Each structure stands twice: as C-alpha cells, then as structure tokens.
Amino acid sequence: MNSSHTSTLLREHDTASRDSVPGRAARLLARGPARVKSPGARWAVNVLAIAGAALIVWSSVIHLQLWADGYRSISVIGPLFLIQGVGGIALAVVLAVFRRVVLLAAGAVMMAATAAGLLLSAGIGLFGYTESLAVPYAMSSLVVEFASAAVLAAAAAILLAARPGSRPVRR
C-alpha cells in the first residue's frame, strides 16, 4: 500500500472521528475553563467550581457527622450517608483540581439528588425510613445542597455557553 495513501486515510479517519457526535460530545464534556476565550468567563467558572466543591465538602461532612452520630445503624440509609460523605469529598477534590463540565454536572446532580432524597425521606419515606426536617442539620443540609447544585449548574452553563478559545500551550 502506498504510504501517502495510508496517511490520507488516517487523516480522514481522524477528522471523521473528531466530527462524529460522540467525539463532539466527549470534547464538550471535557471542556474546562482554560479553553474559554473570555477571561471573565474563565474567572467565573473557576470561582463557581471552587465554591461548589467547598459546598460539596460541607454537605459530605454533615453526612459523615450524622453517620457517626447514629445513622450508621439505619438499614440502607446508613451506608448511603457514608457513601455520600466519602464520595462527595472525593468528587469535590477532583472537581476543584480539574474543573471540567462533566465534573461540574456530576456534582450538581449529586447535590440535587441528595437534597431530593432528604425531601422524599421527610415527605413519604425512603427505603422504609421517614425523616423529619426538624432534626439537626436537615435545613442547613438542604440549603447547602441546593446552593451547591445551583452554583455548579451555573458554572457548567457558563462553560457550555462560552466561546472556546485557542488550545492552551503545554510546556
């Protein structure tokens, strides 16, 4: 086979894979603030991502505290509190370091789902357990979780809406 023909085929394949829907989606989800043209948008995304990560840590600490205070003995709910506490801290660290759209969205979904779980538990019960919003940390947990979801969703929206700049130079 002709080597120039092979290189042409490889370039066509690379271009086709970059322009495919999964390729575009992957690039979009992997977008971070360094790829944004506007300095204001970069600054906003960085501040919102760090604030959102801090709020995730706050929610995780609340869940770990409640787990240690006795929620660990509640079937299903206890292990979920431990998973939310440890997983939330891990996600917050990764989010603060990398600040990618997919991580911002994952944090927003995690916090909204955590708040929804508390509201379901207080309203109709969840996994056979009914909570009250009058218990310690319930209201502060809801505020932190909804605020975190909103902050992270805003950061993701800014990243998705911002015009991409040139690729950052790696040295």
What's the CA gap between 103 and 98, in Å, rounded?
8
What's the CA gap between 143 and 72, in Å, rounded?
23
Task: Specify the amino acid at residue 164.
Answer: P
Residue 59 lies in a domain: yes
Q: For residue 141, give its domain range.
A: 38-161
pLDDT in tens, the chain (171 residues): 555 555 554 454 455 455 676 766 666 656 666 677 788 888 999 999 999 999 999 999 999 998 999 878 888 888 998 999 999 999 999 999 998 899 999 999 999 999 998 898 887 877 777 777 777 888 999 999 999 999 999 999 998 888 776 555 455
Task: Specify the amino acid at residue 12.
Answer: E
Number of domains making up the chain: 1
Residue 169 lies in a domain: no
Residue 70 lies in a domain: yes
Evaluate whether 87 touches 52 at the Cβ level (below 8 Å): no
**What is the model's pTM?**
0.78
Residue 24 lies in a domain: no
What's the CA gap between 46 and 21, in Å, rounded?
27
Per-residue pLDDT reduced to its tens digit, 123-136? 787 777 777 777 78
